[in-house]
Each structure stands twice: as C-alpha cells, then as structure tokens.
Structure 1
Amino acid sequence: MSVKKVRYYLFLKDILALAITAFGGPQAFLAMLLERMVQHRKYVSEEELWELNALCNMLPGPSSTQLVCAIAFRVGGPNLAYLALLVWILPASLLMTTAAILIDFLQENTPGALNFAQFIQPMAIGFVIFAAQKTISKLVQTTEAGILVLISAFVSFFYSSPYVFPILLILGGLSTSIKYKNQPKMERDEPLKIKWANFYLWGGVLLGAALLGAFTKDPSILLFENFYRNGSLIFGGGQVLVPYLYTEFVDFKQFLSSEEFLTGYAISQGIPGPTFSISSYVGALSLREFGPGGFMLGGMVSAAGIFLPGIFLIFFVIRFWDQLKTYRPVRAALEGINATSCGMLIAAAYLLFEPLEANFINIFMILGTYILLQFTKISSPMIISGGILLGIIVNYLTNGIGS
C-alpha cells in the first residue's frame, strides 16, 4: 500500500473517531481537531486550522462539517474530502433516523409514549437559549449589530416564514458592508482569480432540484430541495437551523408535531457528530407515510440535501480565499449576517416555547438546563439522559398511582 493510501486511511480513521466521540458542541469539537489533526497527525498547521475555521464560519452551511472537508481537501483533494464527508455524517445521521423510527413506533403502539420526553422538550429550549447567549456574546460587538439582532428577532417572530429568513440575512449583510472603511486594508499580491466550477455545481443542483420537484411532485425530490435550500442559506451553525426547520416542517407543512420536533432536537444534543444531523430525523418523519423504506429514504435524502451545498461552497471558496479576504466589504458584511442569525435564534427560543404549556415545570426545566450548561461542566449527553430518566420515572409513578 502506498504512503498516500496509508495517509488517506489514517485520515478517515481519525474522522470516524471524531464522528463517534465529538460531544459538547463546536468548542469541544475544535479542541479535539486541534489535538488530533494538528498536534498529533500534523495534517495542517494550527494557523491553517484557525483560518479554515474562520472561512467556514463565513459561509452558509454546517461549519463543523465544512471544516472537516476543508482539511481533507488540503490533505488529499476533493476525493478524500467527499469520503471524509460520508464518514463524518453517517453515524449521527443513522442515529437520528433510528430515533425517528423509534419515536414514531412508540407513538403508534403506546398511547402517551412521548411522556418520557415531557422534560426534554422544554430542555431543548434551554439548549437554544444557551446557544443564543454564547453566539451573541461572541459575534455581537457593536451597537449596530445589537440593533440588527433586535430587528431580526422581531421580524422572525412575527413573520416566521422560511422565505423571510434569507431576505433578512442578505439585508443584514448589506447593512454592515457599507461600513467597510472601518476594516483594515490588506495588501493584494495579484487580481482575484475565481474558478467557478463548484459554484455552478451548487447552483445547478439547487435549480435542478427545484425544477425536478415542481415537475414530478415526487416527495423525496421535494424533500431534498427543501433541505438543500435550507443548507444553502444557514449562517451560524446547527442552532440557527432550528427556526428554519421548525417553521417549514412544523408550522407550514405540518409533517411533524411540535412535540416530535422538540424531542428530536433534544436527542440531537445528546449524540456525537454534526448538529445538522437533526435533519435526518425531520426528513425521516416527513416520509413516514411510505413505511420503513420512507424513513430510511427521508433520512438519507435530507442528510444529502442539508450537507452538500455547504461542501460545494467551501470547495468553491477555498481555492481563492486568500485573495477574497483582502476585500473589506466582504469582511464587513459578516457582522450583519452574524447579528441577523443571532436574532433568529432569539425568535426560535420563543417560537419553540409557544406550543408548550406555560407552567412552572416547563419554565423550571428550561432555566435549569440553561444553568447547568452555563455554570457546570456536565456534558450535554448527560443532561439529556438525566431528563429522559426523570421523565420515565415520573411517567411510571404517575401511571402507577393512577392504576
């Protein structure tokens, strides 16, 4: 076996290890990447890692997945990057598809089956609030950005349409790009040279899926188009995906109940791998009417739809990133895009709470989850497991007393 093939094998083995052990969100994931991919294997330098991370956070799509693929691209080109994508997303996507099958089975065969999730549903909102607080503290540094957060939250709450979100992001970016003179100048060695192949691929799939879905009305193609469109527009990571999916699949299409969605989101916080894997859960339940095959098809189609656009875009931009980052309007627009995403997170927390009963227990679980995340080192999987266990115990005691 050649040295290159051995290197590819080791790289994919390292990605698989991350996929099944990367608990704890983006911060823990970055620490694991630094230890394994930089310090131990030396696939890239530490400077390259932070620069690629910044680039991925600038683009729409799943930033952790894009970072994995960007490193793979630097190590072995697009072929290794696509293999790394598959290895990275497969465990979490299979787990979330299995969770969807289990949740649906329990509901069909056991009345009140989701009572075990009675506490993790409000806990899911605690996770969203914690994510919003962390994101805002990191990304919102100016008065203008703070105002954009409030405007975005207000509009997202009162006009919770999947078509409003991309317009908000564009307007947010434009509103701060005009302040480009505040950005320091960077020297350019040569004119910007762009290779458009991956951009055409991204746009071609987007347009092709939309046209094919409109023409055939095939549920799986329509589902792929829905997720591909969302994956092309999400800035800010998995937590920003929540309002998009909730609005489209719960409010508009009503493929899932609010109870099912919150249960799935909570479960997604307790498993390793990319947080965008909640898409497999939503997609699987969206095609449940087609039986076991529908669950699997929905899980796979939604995973492909949500992850592919971000990968096409990172492959497009990484080729000329060193030149693009010298343009001040590009860097200035990020402030508005990030602030708008933070506003959507605030609206998401309220929109997710709205269907729940505003009782003491739900509010206590929301605040308790936030406090545990903020002030303790208890991991997300342990918090979720505790919520499920508590729900099972209370459900057993309640039924026991009732009988």
Structure 2
Amino acid sequence: MINYLPHLKPVRKIRYIIFLKDVLILALTTFGGPQVHLAMMLDWFVEKRGYLTEEELMELNALCQILPGPTSTQTVTALGFKIGGPNLAYLTLLIWCLPAVAIMTAFGMMVGYLQEEHQSLRFARFIQPMAVGFLIVAGYRIARKVIKTQSGLVLGILAALTAYAFRSPYVTPVVILAGGLTTALTYEKQTVMEKKPIRIEWANFFLWLGVLVGAAVLGAVTQLLPVRLFENFYRNGSLVFGGGQVLTPMLYNEFVAFKHYLTREEFLSGLGMAQAIPGPVFAFASYVGALSMRSDGAYGQLIGSAVSTAGIFLPGTFLIFFVYRFWNQLKRYRAVRASLDGINAASTGLTAAAALALFEPMASNWPMVATVLGTILVLELTKLPPFLLIMGGLVIGVLL
C-alpha cells in the first residue's frame, strides 16, 4: 500500500487500508450475484462505514448497469476511485476479484487434469443442468425488471431468435447495438431535462480503445494463444451489457460453439461452480481461460487464466473511469436514456437464447430435465442460497 500511495498522509492511508479490508470481507462473503452484492454494499459501505450515502451508491450502481462490464465490480471499483483516485481503485479491483479468480482457476485446472487423465466429470453431472436452471431464473428475473412494453418484448424475442439461429460471437454485439439504436429513436417519450455543457476527459476512453485495437492487431499478427485469449475476453468485456447472465451466451458462442476450446459439459460445470463462490460472477472467465490453454500444462493454464481475467475486467474499469467524470451531464440526454431500454431487452433475449441452446441437448434426458425444473422451483419458491444448492449437487454427484 505504501508503495502505491506514497504521497498520502498517514490518517488517509489508514482509512484506505480499512476500506480495502472491507472490500476483502465482501469478496469472501457475498454469494448470489449483483443483487446480493448491492444489498451487502448498502449494509457495509453505507450503513456501517458511511463511505457514501444510499442515494450516491444507488446512482453509482445505476451508471454501472448501463455500461458494458461487470456491474458489481464496476460499482466497487468506482467507489474506490471516488474515495482515493485511480491507485486505490485498481487495488480495490484486485482485492475484489482475487478470491473468486483463484477458486475458478483452481477448478479449471482440476477439470483439465481430470480430462487429461481420462477421468469422468460425472461428479458434476447435476451441476450442469443446475447451471441451466440458474441461467433461466436469472434471465426471467432480469426480464421482469427491464421489459415493460410490447416493443421491449418484441425486441427481446427477436434478439433471442437471432442469437439462437446464428451462433457466432460476432452476432452478440450486433444484437445489442441494434436494440439500443431501436429504442433510442423513441427518445421523445423521455422526460426533458435541463442540459449542461459536457466536459469530457478522453484519456481513459483512448486507453480502452487503444488496448482493444492493439490486442486485435497483435493477436492477428502473432497468432499467440495468450494474446488472442486476452483480445477475445477484452472484446467480450467491452460489449457485455447486463452482467453475468449475458456474458454466458457470449462465452458459450465463442469458446464452445465456435472455437471448441471447451466441451459443453466443461462449460456447464464451470458455470455451475461460478454460482457457488463469493465475489464477481465474471470470474467464470478465469475458468474458461485456464481450460483454453490446458495443452500447455499447469503454467499455461495459469497464463490463460491471468490474461482472460485481465481481459474481462479491464474494459469495464477503463470505461467507468471515463464515464464517471461526466455522467451527471450525459444522463440528461433523452436518446441516451431511451437506448437503455433496447439494450436491456436485447440482453434478455441473448440470455434466453443461451438457456435454450444449453438446454436443448438435455431435453431427451428426463433426469436432467427434472434437475433443471427442480432448480428453478427451489430458486423461485425458497430462499436457499445458490451456493448450498450447488454444493448439494456436487455431494450427490460424488456419492452416486
């Protein structure tokens, strides 16, 4: 800490250390995704510590929801930025992500080892349909919140059909942008707000764009797998609106259906495990990256996890640093607010398409179908924590 923040007074350093300790506590104890993360942040950061007011936290979270990237991670990183600037924000990002990333990397290496030794993944056979159940419930809950009109419903259905029919990673950003542009044209329905001149500091935008273009060029020239993995995840992290449930179809299309780096069973096993760990769901990328480089041994898997983790988390970080400075002015434009409805509807459709594609091979297997339906019912009708459900599935799979 002292090396990163040498110019700060001792009292301020102590405050920052306490904040980072609070972030670590949340990273180790928050299960259940962005909704649970937000509730814990309200309790810990607002009520107990008073780092900011409830209104400030809710507005910050709303801003992060409309930017590409992991909402919870961007929120906690932006809070670090608000409290102590860029250095504290990057330390916050590292501490928030590290526990989940370590767990998912280790799980990926274990799955890779079992596959190399021709060991069965049947111990996770109940986790795979559970993951589909989690995805269906997440998509349904998001849809109830964001689809409020017939046009939104139509956009969601069209997005789902398009993504299901054309299973390419390049379809995802097209669908999202088309949804946003469609509803942006209806900006007249939005409330007029007094506008102020927007003063934009472009440094972080050019940093985001430079890394995006540079990684694409470097990957195409060198064809090195670590570079291409970083580019793949950085591109996905730059385009994923709506959180982990939208990231799932993007990664499935790219790494399972398109590039075949993972099997469907491996993907679902990791997706299920991502629901059972604390911290950001985007740590699922660490698992995918580790398995994508299994042919290079343990060292290669660690490299794959590292570049994939950096790729998925950095775009959202750069963009929140960029937008946070002028958000109060930007949100006053009606077209900006109107586009959010289309982006959210399209993201919901992408989730539905992913759930359908993952469920399709299970449709003829009644135990799998029963597990999917049972998971949905448990999640909707009880308050059982998701990680307990996953752990129970793993125990049953091992015993049987």
TM-score by length of 1: 0.96
Alignment of 1:137-176 (within 5 A): 137-176=144-183
In the alignment, what sits opposite 1:134? 141
Are 2:315 and 1:287 equivalent residues in the alignment? no
In the alignment, what sits opposite 1:392? 398
Alignment of 1:269-288 (within 5 A): 269-288=275-294
Instruction: Give the root-mean-square deviation of aligned CA atoms.
Output: 0.9
Q: What amino acid is aligned across from residue 97 of structure 1 in structure 2? A: T
In the alignment, what sits opposite 1:76? 84
Are 2:93 and 1:85 equivalent residues in the alignment? yes
> Which of 33, 37, 50 does residue 25 from structure 1 map onto?
33
In the alignment, what sits opposite 2:45? 37
Alignment of 1:212-251 (within 5 A): 212-251=218-257
CA contact (8 A) 1:72 1:84 kept: yes
Are 2:184 and 1:177 equivalent residues in the alignment? yes
Kindly tell me the number of residue pairs found equivalent between the two proteins.
392
Are 2:339 and 1:319 equivalent residues in the alignment? no
> Which of 307, 332, 336 does residue 338 from structure 2 map onto?
332
> Which of 195, 199, 222 does residue 201 from structure 2 map onto?
195
Deviations along 1:33-86, one digit per CA (max 9) or x if unpaired, are 001101111111111000001000000011110001111111011110010000
Deviations along 1:286-343, one digit per CA (max 9) or x if unpaired, are 0111111011111111000000000000000000000001000000000000000000
Alignment of 1:56-71 (within 5 A): 56-71=64-79
Deviation at 1:109, TM superposition (A): 2.7
Give the 3-state SS of the residue equivalent to 2:239 in structure 1. Answer: coil
CA contact (8 A) 1:60 1:236 kept: yes
CA contact (8 A) 1:177 1:332 kept: yes
Deviation at 1:217, TM superposition (A): 1.1
Alignment of 1:84-123 (within 5 A): 84-109=92-117, 111-112=119-120, 114-123=121-130
Give the 3-state SS of the residue equivalent to 2:361 in structure 1. Answer: coil
For residues 235 and 265 of structure 1, what CA distance do their matches in structure 2 show? 18
Deviations along 1:162-212, one digit per CA (max 9) or x if unpaired, are 101101111100100111111111122x31111111000000000000111
> Which of 204, 211, 217 does residue 210 from structure 2 map onto?
204
For residues 59 and 207 of structure 2, what CA distance do their matches in structure 1 show? 25
Q: What amino acid is aligned across from residue 27 of structure 2 in structure 1? A: A
For residues 107 and 282 of structure 1, what CA distance do their matches in structure 2 show? 14
For residues 195 and 12 of structure 1, what CA distance do their matches in structure 2 show? 27
Provide structure 1 residue ranges, at least 5 long, that are not aligned to the other structure. 395-403
For residues 171 and 133 of structure 1, what CA distance do their matches in structure 2 show? 21
Are 2:355 and 1:349 equivalent residues in the alignment? yes
Are 2:271 and 1:265 equivalent residues in the alignment? yes
Give the 3-state SS of the residue equivalent to 1:221 in structure 2. Answer: helix
Alignment of 1:289-304 (within 5 A): 289-304=295-310
For residues 148 and 380 of structure 1, what CA distance do their matches in structure 2 show? 30
Deviation at 1:110, TM superposition (A): 5.2
CA contact (8 A) 1:149 1:343 kept: yes
Deviation at 1:354, TM superposition (A): 2.6
For residues 265 and 8 of structure 1, what CA distance do their matches in structure 2 show? 34
Are 2:10 and 1:2 equivalent residues in the alignment? yes
For residues 12 and 94 of structure 2, what CA distance do their matches in structure 1 show? 20
TM-score by length of 2: 0.97
Deviations along 1:254-306, one digit per CA (max 9) or x if unpaired, are 11000000000000000000000000000000011111101111111100000
Q: What amino acid is aligned across from residue 125 of structure 1 in structure 2? A: V
Are 2:61 and 1:50 equivalent residues in the alignment? no
Deviations along 1:87-109, one digit per CA (max 9) or x if unpaired, are 01111111000001111222233
